[in-house]
Amino acid sequence: MIKKCLFPAAGYGTRFLPATKSIPKEMLPIVNKPLIQYGVEEAADAGMTDIAIVTGRGKHAIEDLFDNNRIIEAAVNGTDKESLLEETNRLMRTCTFSYTRQKEMKGLGDAILSGEPLIGNLPFGVVLADDLCTGEHGRDGILAQMLKIYEQHHCSIIAIEEVPEQDTHKYGIVSGVEIEPGLYRVEDMVEKPQGTAPSNLAIIGRYILTPDIFDLLRDTPAGAGGEVQITDALKSQINNGGVIAYKFRGRRFDCGSIHGFVEATNYFYSHFSASDSPRQPGRADNSA
Ligand code: UTP
């Protein structure tokens, strides 16, 4: 049973300036719920209740979200707005939250390595909160689906989705052998391919990683874009334990981009917030 889930959340979110000058990207709301809360709900629903968050300067608002705020609580208690805090309160009851800082923005691989003291020597989930994922109606979320695959294969699992060929240069791209429908034994991966991509299977922001990844990351020099890339460390795992890529069932919104953020907002508004009165945007597609 994997209990720990790491949230690298130290990035600057420059695509959302000026908002991200003073608000962490992970706190931008889709309807009225911050992006990071959607991710923590997905992890908690998969039984990963030890939440480890890698932050940086100016990210205090994330810690405040998952902490008591007696003044606000007193203001809404007994009113019709009390229910808006229900889900956040449930997470605070059922999860533990720990934080560490990434000292320099040296890339996702370095952010994951910064989380090692919070994770230790056990397999763990990773969620990039700006990839907002929702499972199919009434079904498991993406992390819960990935856990089932981990239980069969006991190696690192990465979530993938097909992207248009002209977009492959924005992603880590995998190629491999399809061992079951939608499940690939990875043979190669390349971060943001400049020329022809080996496939159109793009890595998205959900991983289950085995803890040997930390030693591999320590030995990984900066790669594409001068950043320490998680794909480079995962490449070393291909011949050493193996890596499985999983075409998840559900939908992903790239909320790190303005286009994906607006798409997600429209989707969650129309599925979960059909009226003007504030309400709790639902989890996954379960209330659709
Ligand atoms: P992005 O590539 O989206 O970068 O990071 P960013 O800084 O958040 O956003 P832009 O491109 O400037 O708009 C993907 C994920 O990896 C984390 C980010 O917080 C995000 O969750 N990350 C990235 C780190 O934690 N540290 C890093 O050094 C880089």
Distance 162 CA to ligand 1 centre (A): 21
- 288 falls within a domain: no
Please indicate, yes or no, if residue 74 is contained in any of the structural domains: yes
Q: To the nearest whole number, what is the mean pLDDT of the chain?
A: 93
Domain containing residue 215: CATH number: 3.90.550.10
Domain that holds residue 194: 4-270
Residues in the chain: 288
DSSP string, 92-113: HHH-EEEEEE-SS---HHHHHH
CA nearest neighbour of 256 among 6, 57, 20: 20
- Whether 50 is in a domain gets the answer yes
Choose the residue to mutate in 114, 128, 170, 171 for probing ligand 1, maximizing ligand atoms within 8 Å of C-beta: 128
pLDDT at residue 125 tops 70: yes
Residue 281 in any domain: the answer is no
Q: How far apart are CA 233 and CA 223, in angstroms?
A: 10
Centre of ligand 1 from the C-alpha of residue 172, in Å: 14
With respect to residue 276, please indicate whether it lies within any of the assigned structural domains: no
Number of domains in the chain: 1
Q: What is the pTM of this model?
A: 0.94
What pLDDT, on a 0 to 100 scale, did the predictor assign at position 287?
Answer: 38
Instruction: Please tell me the distance between residue 75's alpha carbon and the centre of ligand 1 in angstroms.
Output: 35
- Does the residue 277 lie in any domain? no
Does residue 191 form part of some domain?
Answer: yes
DSSP string, 233-246: HHHHHHTTT-EEEE
| Ligand 1 atom, smallest distance to 9 CA | 19
* pLDDT 10s digits, 172-217: 999 999 999 999 999 999 999 998 999 999 999 999 999 999 999 9
Does position 283 have pLDDT exceeding 60, yes or no? no
Give the residues surrounding ligand 1 with Cβ less than 6 Å away: 8-15, 25, 54, 102, 105-108, 110-111, 128-130, 256
pLDDT score of 195? 87
* Ligand 1 pocket mutation, candidates 130, 169, 230, 259, criterion most atoms within 8 A of CB: 130
